[in-house]
Structure 1
Amino acid sequence: MAAARPEITAWSPPVEGIAEVFHARFTDHAYPMHTHDAWTLLVVDEGMVRYDLDHHEHGVLTHTVTLLPPHVPHNGEAATPGGFRKRVLYLDTGQVDERLIGRAVDRPVLHDPALRSRIDRLHRTLADPGDELEAASRLALVAERLAQHLGDRVGSVPYVHDGRLAHRLRELLDATYVEGITLQEAGARLHAHHAHLVRAFSREFGMAPHQYVTGRRVDLARRLLLRGVPASAVAASAGFYDQSHLTRHFKRIVGTGPGHYARRSSTPRTKAA
């Protein structure tokens, strides 16, 4: 019987820190021993995967997270008859300190439902072009959580509230929300780690930086539509990736699409004296 054709989707997102996104479903493929030059962050959505890492056998279940370190040989194959479906993020080595490779070899499987949920949301965000700031924010929190796991310090790092930093970030976002700014660029300008920026902003204002930027862009889009700018031209002027990106966020915030919003808007007539 011929081998079943694998289902594969792979892309390189414009998000600093992520070298590749790889989604696949395999029924009978077995990976030989190989290495990567990036951290391999793996979740399995269906089935089970078994693999050898540093002469020890491991298994990946649907409720766990697996972090395979760079430069360490490993293989992999289905551990269930129906194969497996997985989602993988290949993270640049700057996302997790390479000095933690040894600890990752010892404990590649992480039992952390909150981390798995964060990774799932990150994958969903990466599927939509234009939401790179949101993806970067989610990645920063994922990388922070991974570092805590490998350092055996989960939950032990106190949060230092920094309202002044949050307000400085908001000023920076206000000045750049149309053209956009990456978290790494913001961190360099404000001399702060990008994960700390996300946490400080969220604590101070009750929303993540990407949510604030999206809201500012939608507000600008509304003003442009009311001025008579065609909906087809509003997306780029308001900082959105394309019209589909504008429509998705506009509907979510305003409750209707930009075209319908523009058609149903009019200037109230002044009553005669």
Structure 2
Amino acid sequence: MIERVRAWHPDVPFLREVYHASFDHAYPLHTHDDWAVMLVDRGAVTYDLDRVSHRAAPGALTLLPPGIPHDGRSAVAGTGYRKQVLYLRRDWLPDDTADRVSRHPTLGRGSAESAARRVHAALRYPGEEMAAEHALLVVRDAILAHTGTEVAAVRDAPLARRLRGMLDDRFTESFTIASAAAHLGAHPSHLVREFSRAYGMAPHRYLVARRVDAARRLLVDGCRPAEVAVRTGFHDQAHLTRHFRRVWGVTPGAFARG
């Protein structure tokens, strides 16, 4: 296995660092201040968490809580492994979640694992930070369900309408779900759940749809794709092209020529 390590700081609320590694390395016993959400893509890792042995392998999500000692090594001596890790602020989850997770740190294949993979996929492209933020909220809700923490199911259609109005008014701007939630006086998870329940799609999907629709109108008016991307809130022309083609089946340039 070729050894590779990459780490960076995305501009996503609560997400401190993303770490991708492909190597054969044994971590000594240590702790860290953040939550570590780990996917193993190749090989397997054995680790002791709070003096109990566990195994992390493809098809599952591993949670390493802040402040609890753990180590890690390849499950097969002399064989490497590949992993992707999200480091999230301690307050990403309620204070009492760490002790619960330490007893059951593995979530099998399901919504949490697939959402974590969507986070990593979104972070490959500039301009997809809100999509990554939404997927992190899905991971958060799945962890709370895994630990038996009840999530309030109070319906709040007025809150959903207020967020929709905000997205309609500001769809060309860059902002986060967390900032919208703070402005509306709600928790980000609750805000996303209520919006999705009311309108059948996540807020970031609605925002992109508004931008694509505005881009279509500008292209019909004769604006160049690069100018359209700037005027409709996309990060750049490549960001516009990716979403425009997903919706309309052609690139903005081909649409304009047609």
**Percent of aligned pairs with the same residue?**
45
Q: 1:256 aligns with which of 229, 250, 254?
A: 250
Gapped regions of structure 1 (runs ≥ 5): 265-273
The one-letter code matched in structure 2 to 1:135 is: A
Structure number, greater radius of gyration? 1
Distance 1:11 1:247 in 2: 25
Out of 93, 115, 140, the residue aligned to residue 90 of structure 2 is: 93
Find the aligned partners of 2:198 and 2:169 in 1 and give their Cα distance.
19
**1:52 pairs with one of 19, 25, 48:** 48
Q: Which moved more, 1:5-14 or 1:194-203?
A: 5-14
RMSD of aligned residue pairs (Cα, Å): 1.6
In 1, Cα distance between the equivalents of 2:82 and 2:202? 31
| Residue 196 of structure 2 is aligned to residue 199 of structure 1 | no
Q: CA deviation at 1:147?
A: 2.3
Name the amino acid aligned to 1:49. V
- Scaled by the length of structure 1, the TM-score of the pair is 0.88
Q: Distance in 2 between matches of 1:236 and 1:116?
A: 34
Is the CA contact 1:173–1:181 (under 8 Å) kept in the aligned structure 2?
no
TM-fit CA distance, 1:149: 2.0
Residues 225 and 262 of structure 1 are in contact (CA less than 8 Å); yes or no, is this contact kept in structure 2? yes
**Correspondence for 1:18:** 15
- Does 2:200 match 1:209? no
Give the SS at the match of 1:98.
coil
Q: Which amino acid aligns with 1:200?
A: E
Please report how far the alpha carbon of residue 130 of structure 1 lies from its aligned counterpart in structure 2 after TM superposition: 0.4
Tell me whether 1:76 sits opposite 2:72 in the alignment.
yes
- Indicate the SS of the match to 1:241: coil
Aligned-partner residue type, residue 159 of structure 1: A
Deviation track 1:115-137 (CA, whole Å, cap 9, x = no partner) reads: 11121122211222101111111
Deviation at 1:184, TM superposition (A): 1.1
Q: Deviations over 1:5-48 (max 9, x none)?
A: 4122322111111111112211x211122222110001111111
Quote how far apart the aligned CAs of 1:111 are: 2.8
Structure 2 partner of 1:231: 225
Equivalent in 3, 21, 42 of residue 6 of structure 1: 3
- Name the counterpart of 1:114: 111
Q: Which residue of 2 aligns with 1:270?
A: none
Whether the 8 Å contact between 2:112 and 2:138 is mirrored in structure 1 is no
Structure 2: how far apart are the matches of 1:110 and 1:217?
35
Count of residue pairs brought into register by the alignment: 257
Can you list the C-alpha shifts for 1:85-114, whole angstroms capped at 9, x where unaligned? 111110111211233222222222223522
Secondary structure class of the residue paired with 1:187:
helix
Between stretches 138-147 and 252-261, larger displacement belongs to 138-147
SS in 1 for 2:96: helix
Cα deviation for residue 208 of structure 1 reads 0.8
User: Quick check: 158-167 or 134-143, which moved more?
Assistant: 158-167
